[in-house]
Structure 1
Amino acid sequence: MSYTFTKEERLCSKRLIDGLFHNGSSFVLYPYRIVFLLANNQHDNDGPPAQCILSVSKKRFKRAVDRNFIKRRMREAYRLQKSSLYGFLHEHSVHLLVAFQYIGKEKLPSVQLHQRMGLVLDKLKDESSKVFLDLDS
């Protein structure tokens, strides 16, 4: 598995983003709030199994430099640990839309963001498997 974060893995479609926030499930694992949705229409099997968007609140971090700094660290933590999530999604052959929102009030060290991202991805697998069980029954 390649440790890259390509354009295809980013969630850019306004229609998909609106659907994610209106119909998606969410949970909080500080300093992240995660909103996810299992996409029914996986338009191509060659594409990535998950598309994500990362956001940092302008209300909490006024300066764009700070918001970009946190997003850069979040992206790096996700990029290095996404392989376990991708394996799980390939196994169940589903497509997942995910929004990672930073809800912390201060900038946390990279190590802590990295550890929490690992916990977030594990919980995301658990939460999405609950949805699979609900769909199968």
Structure 2
Amino acid sequence: MSYTFKKEERLCSKRRIDGLFHNGSSFVLYPYRIVFTLAEPAESTASVPVQCILSVSKRRFKRAVDRNFIKRRMREAYRLQKSFLYDFLHEHSLHLLVAFQYVGKEKLPSAQLHQRMLQVLGKLKDESSKLYLEMDH
């Protein structure tokens, strides 16, 4: 598993982003709010099981420097730990669309963001397996 975050893994399509926020399920695991949905296999990029978008609120962090700093840290945490989720999704040939939103009020240490991201990916795995089971029945 390579620890990269390529263009194909980023969610860029306006139509798919709108679909994610209108039809997706969500949960909060401080400092993240996660919105996710199963993507149709036909419309998803076959090579990557997850397409995601990262965002930080402009209302909470006025300066772009701060928003970019937090996004960089979130990307790093996701990039290093995504294999945990990817293995499960490859196994069941599932495709997810995910939005990671930072809802914290202050910048948290990198170690804490990494630890929370691991918990988030674990919960995403559980939730997507529930969706998978519902889909089968």
TM-score (norm 2): 0.97
- Show the counterpart of 2:50: 50
Percent identity at matched positions?
80
Q: What's the C-alpha RMSD, in Å, of the aligned pairs?
A: 1.1
Task: Output aligned runs, 1:1-137, within 5 Å.
Answer: 1-43=1-43, 46-137=46-137
**1:11/1:53 contact within 8 Å kept:** yes
**1:42/1:95 contact within 8 Å kept:** no
**2:44/2:95 contact within 8 Å kept:** no
After TM superposition, the structure 1 stretch with the greater mean CA deviation from structure 2, 39-48 or 26-35, is: 39-48
Cα separation, 1, equivalents of 2:20 and 2:4? 23
SS in 1 for 2:37: strand
Cα separation, 1, equivalents of 2:129 and 2:108? 30
Deviation at 1:22, TM superposition (A): 0.2
Aligned AA (2:20): L
Offset from partner CA, 1:56-110 (integer Å, 9 cap, x none): 0000000000000000000000000000110010001011000000000000000
CA distance 1:77–1:10, shift in 2 (3 Å): same
Deviation at 1:44, TM superposition (A): 6.3
SS in 1 for 2:96: strand
Cα separation, 2, equivalents of 1:102 and 1:91? 29
- Mark the runs of 5 or more structure 1 residues left unpaired by the alignment: none
SS in 2 for 1:26: strand
Cα separation, 1, equivalents of 2:33 and 2:61? 16
SS in 2 for 1:125: helix
- Mark the runs of 5 or more structure 2 residues left unpaired by the alignment: none
